[in-house]
Amino acid sequence: MGVGAVLIGVVWALFLQPSRTPTEPLTAVPIQLEGDSTTYTIFEINGAESEVTFVLDEVLRGLPTIVTGNSRYVAGQIAINFANPQASQIGPITINARTLATDNEFRDNAIHNFILDTEANEFITFTPTEIRGLPAQFVANESVAIEIVGELKIRDIAQPVIFEGTVMANGRTQLTGSATAQIERGAFQLQIPNAPGVANVSEKVSLAINFIALATN
Range name among 10-24, 48-62, 91-105, 196-210 with the lowest pLDDT average: 10-24
Sequence-separated (6 or more) residues with CB below 8 Å from residue 164: 145, 146, 147, 148, 179, 180, 181
pLDDT given at position 17: 55
Choose among 95, 103, 114: nearest CA to 19.
Answer: 114
The more confidently predicted of residues 20 and 169 is 169
Number of alpha carbons in the 13 Å side-chain half-sphere of residue 54: 21
The alpha carbon of 118 is separated from its chain's Cα centroid by a whole number of angstroms, namely 14
Where does the pLDDT of residue 202 fall: very low under 50, low under 70, confident under 90, or very high at 90 and above?
Answer: very high
Q: Residue 70 sits in which domain range?
A: 2-215
CATH number for the domain harbouring residue 78: 2.40.128.110
Number of domains in the chain: 1
- Per-residue model confidence as pLDDT tens digits over 111-144: 999 999 999 999 999 999 999 999 999 888 999 9
Give CA–CA dist 180/210, Å, rounded.
9
Which of 159 and 137 is assigned the larger pLDDT? 159
pLDDT exceeds cutoff 90 at 55: yes
